[in-house]
Structure 1
């Protein structure tokens, strides 16, 4: 189906005018015209103005329109959710309060109204996610059409991907909002229908033991070795199928091949992208080369409505795979052997049921091999302890395995796999595969599975929050391969495609700050949701302020003290449960929060005085925090309990600063003494400046001694106050600058006066000589002198 028709069917009527105008983009692209090689394009060529009009409409007009609507709708949904929370808070009975029949009736009415509102919010959240996905796909489709038709001179897709990575509409996570809705639904139903089932039911606890929480991440190629060594210090490498337990040589990491199935209409792919209920997947999976006759497993996985999964798996031999896919092979011999044992009757029935389920699933959906995923896996796990399971997949290659093009099939339609790969033992990077049939994923894939409640040890949490990994929730090799290799056959793409062009490496301190913000935001949401359930007074167990940066434990990262001393940006408001860096370092913290204020001119002036330093360290130290409930100020810190032990370099640094101030004092005194002695008795300006410089020299010496004693006292007391002080340097610098300016001004004025006096004297002298000087003699008519003076 063409994307235009898919878009029309996906439109949510109330939001009809806010979708991407795909028809207009195709009109601007002039898709109805022929390609560049035909005569029609030569008669009406694609110009710079056409390119500018298309890019302007795609990048600025349509993308901004979609993003603005998504942001506004998401904000509105959160406000409506907060309003529902406020209504439900009033329904929470106070301690010791007895409810009357009237109050209970009123609570039911309010709960019914909130339930109706929650239904509307839940529906719009679902529609908003579909809205984001279909528009995201539309932008990629439009960019691809442009690059395919006009790509010889202009390419838009890289620019579009950079722009998409900067906008939230295709990357916003609605999980916190859905979690809030889920809690409120439970509370409302408890009011309307009675008590909800207890979460500590023994059966539920038994089932919870087998549940794993999965976390997926991307790892940049530069960080793979660092991640491996970090995990190896806690978990050993899980060895696959060692030949003998006595061998000392550990085999190489196995190469795993997964062959994914789908229908020609890609039904399974579309269900998985849309996260449809009961979405299923089917794959064949084996380790190592197929020529070594490994065990082949056919696996069907169904995602249940509660985000769990159910798996059906059978083991096959290579010669029976094609027969089983056609429904001809039924494991008759194996079933006969199992039926001979009376105690295996239940297993026989279960095995028959699994066989029938797999074959009917293939038959009903017309499934066939579509995609091959080949990768090298390194697994980490303590033998016999499956609480923490970690796998790192590298060299991931996704290869087409379909026969959709009858003229150029990727495999033999009568076989179940590509023999050109398996018979020749082809390995990564599969250089012989034709372009367009293979995609090599640029990063490694890290998956952490935690058993039970999903909480790992401190080192696991540090790894997941570090700069070495980038979180990639719901990433799927199958979905990524289909989206990259079959983009002409599908009309829905996963959101992570827009991030492939970005550099996923991060600065350690930036990663730490982002993780702290995320944890604080989650804690704030947990408190808001739990407030009407009577648990709002307790901090969220998922938020635990870290001592220093967790990434400081990795090689090349910043030290814990430096990361902890890094202050937060002043523009970001203080989270209610976020512990500032001063408290993490062990410094005394005041329990009352200080509101954020806009700096005024008077407050800026106070920054120049000794007690109001504006350094980053001092600002972090002056931050205040609201201590969590049940936590009080200790009064005396553990760091102050023992004897004072200060490194020598701290004392020496203080002494060096004192010596520098004395050096400045001596220089100023020498300058003032020389200036005063060189000036004569009549040069009052020079003598005055000499006295001024002497005053500054005395001030520098006294200030240096004062600061030396003050800092020495702070060091001995282990004070948390700041050591730097800008008052003294500013006074000396401003004073010297003012003295030099005044010196120049006085000398300039004196010089101008002297020049003016000389000019007046010269003028008066010239006029006097011309009027009173007698003639020197009389001259005859012939020019001879007659009389001389």
Structure 2
């Protein structure tokens, strides 16, 4: 389908076709220009005559007889950009007016409720929530409008340069478009004000008090996801409906994100990198973190220690704060620990707190010297945090504009210089920009309750998030920026969506065979964990494994709305390159029960709002254990049958021989079934097809057959005994 038709099919009814890019008009101008063969300009002439007629063709007519020139296309393009920009800014102004009105309604309703001494009425709260939801839907609709036009301009410019290679203009106009307000504008203030509205209606300030959970034991679960750029605003809205933004104060007001820098320390052999990559028990990561733009003033020295859950220990993160001038002392083990400890006690800190602080500082300063740690890699991002004050049940962070910068190759001046000067020019191989946002969900599960809140589950299954098992910004940065120093690389570097960014940073040698022509090594084993697929398996770069839930999520349909199929034309949209439906899976025992058809499973996959199935490497081991258990039972049955058959032949018992032969057939069925289920489930795990991976029918069928045989044998023996007594 042509993009012009796709654009028309996705026109918002509230907007109409007028404000959208007129793709067909620009396309027609390109077609006319491509059919013309104008005489080429004289590239050597440096002078012109204003009285000389224009160049003519073979008939003696002006070369551009139809009047369509390159100038016509460029003027039309400028007009379309101005039209889209004007409409976008007008809608943003209208959205701000709506938010202002809703904020006024909340203040009025709250004041009335306080004057009456009553809480905010339920009907008033629902009415205000509806207003906030309408504002959010308008904003997401506007963002979709911007995205579809943005993509349209990219495609029409690419088409222009393809058909008119003598007059390329894509690079110039793309850079110009990125400088316009409708593309570069930061409208995060709308998100901040929406967060205030939802927080006021939830009354988050009354939800918890400091120290409410100080004495409760809990288990913290952390999961990391990749989020496509076009889905960031929708994910933010899905979270802020339940958690308030952790706002940052700036000179221009409040913003929903904070500039975050983290400098990671390692030695020449990248010992800490390989420890974190291999998930060695006790492996540590050390970093120096500061917040805000400009030179750091306060620096957090942080240590993360990895422990596997099966060992009974949990991974921990510890940190202490120092002044920027003291970083040199920490890195050289000259930090005045005793003086700082006395100052802490003088300020009222307890003896226990001082002891724990001292132990942490001594361990970090000593390891910096003993392992000869130096600045190795820096991560930069804009971090948006969500959390109810004094309530750590659910914490969410979203990192956008994520990039990694190499901290190698400059003079440290005996650790006095520990990060690059912002004024230094970075070479292409010294920085890599991550193409996705990174979402981190931290759940505090208390009292044996291992079930996360429903809204978290709905978000995880919305099709907007793509889990990347054990993803690490530091590990990714080192593997891409220091390809000559690393002995092994993480599995996710083979994800097809990262290929361009890795190649742009000069790290192509770490990619798989089909990408860079070098050995892929063990990474092929973990291809099932890649969020967007890998080239070697010929997967699309548009999120393999996504079901129709992804399309629903792009319309804001999450959870119950997705199940009900709300929204116009949900299944009638044309499938473009960004709309990829996952493969429908075969039911495990379709060979045994033909009524379980592929079409039924496909329909179920279309309706169910499931995302890519969560996979961990231990799932493969569980599948192998299940296979061995089934084989074990099959071998036991075959051994029993062989014994019965041997004794029956000696005694001449006919029924015993028949019974033994039937048991042999059943034992063979157990083994065949075990092999079939093992291969089927392995394929399901590798492809991460959403749906059930268990087989509730096969075991029941085999168990029923075995029970019938045993019952018949028991009845036969009872009959023989009764005959002997008679």
Q: TM-score, normalised by structure 2?
A: 0.41
Greater Rg by CA = 1
